[in-house]
Amino acid sequence: MLGATGTDNAKIRVLVVDDHDLFRAGLASVLAAQPDIEVVSQASGGKMAVRLARELRPDVVLMDLRMPDLGGSDATRSILQHDPNVRVLALTVSSDESDVATAIVAGACGYLLKDSPVDDVVEAVRAAARGVAWLSPRAAEVLLDRIRREWVESGSPAELEQELSPRELEVLQLVARGLDNSEIAAELSISPRTAKNHVSSILAKLEVPNRIQAATYAVRSGLA
């Protein structure tokens, strides 16, 4: 695993998106039972998800990928184009390489399989709200294997789009190891706020929306 908005007492506002009514309602019920989570709405399709995300501005969108009207990856891309601060967690039955890669490229900050334990889904929502990426073990394996294969086939490491400072390179290496901001702070003996600022600077310089894609850069650049 790679790390709510508002005050410390604010609940994490979640939009649950899935075209299977029973699954969606059950998941929403589990999340709503958590003291720190508020389910602001549910959507049965991608188009509805895009509309509700714009209207309600949730902190986290739990997004099914396979829906008949608008796929989850396309919906994710549309949501983030309108508001990059929304965190989208992909939730699906598929661990196919193409599905994982497409969701991450679209901007999803995490990827969960529908057979994941309920506690993992809850923790993934909390992690997303903190800005921490969350991948199920199988999804992480698939994604890193793909990145490393592309790196080997290219014959040379990718170049960073902007030069990072020595400290930012250290932080990026730790992001690629899956550390959240507090863990990075402890590792480098800096404050969590400073760690967060470094991560924000790295994302801006690399022009990527989340920590997963920053970690991808680290692997492609031979840093991890």
Burial of 204 (0-12, 13-18, 19+ CB in 10 A): exposed
Residues found in the chain: 224
Q: DSSP assignment, residue 86? A: -
Confidence of residue 21 (pLDDT cuts 50, 70, 90): very high
CB 123 within 8 A of CB 89: no
The set of residues, in sequence order, having a beta carbon less than 8 Å from that of 69 and lying 6+ positions away, is: 45, 46, 47
- Give per-residue pLDDT as tens, 169-196: 999 988 887 777 888 899 999 998 999 8
The per-residue pLDDT for 83 is: 92
* 0.85 surpassed by pTM: no
Give the pLDDT score at 98.
Answer: 73
According to CATH, the topology of domain 12-142 is Rossmann fold (3.40.50)
Instruction: Output DSSP code: residue 116.
Output: S
Q: Over 50: is that where the pLDDT of 78 sits?
A: yes
pLDDT digits (tens, 9 = 90+) for 186-223: 999 999 899 989 988 998 888 877 777 787 777 777 77
- Where do you find CATH 3.40.50.2300 in the chain? 12-142
Closest CA to 92 of 12, 19, 2: 19
Mean per-residue pLDDT over the chain, rounded: 83
pLDDT > 90 in the chain, percent = 42
Give the model's confidence band at 30: pLDDT under 50 very low, under 70 low, under 90 confident, else very high.
very high
Question: Which residue spans of the chain are classified as CATH 1.10.10.10?
Answer: 156-220
**Residues 127/1, Cβ–Cβ less than 8 Å:** yes
CA–CA gap between residue 8 and residue 178 (Å, rounded): 24
Q: Which long-range contacts (CB under 8 A, 24 or more apart) does 21-25 make?
A: 23/114
Q: How confident is the model at residue 54 (pLDDT cuts 50, 70, 90)?
A: very high
Q: How crowded is residue 57: how many other Cβ atoms within 10 Å of its Cβ?
A: 15
pLDDT at 15 over 90: yes
Q: Which fold has domain 156-220?
A: Arc Repressor Mutant, subunit A (1.10.10)
pLDDT confidence of residue 18: 95
pLDDT in tens, 111-143: 888 888 888 899 899 988 987 778 776 666 666
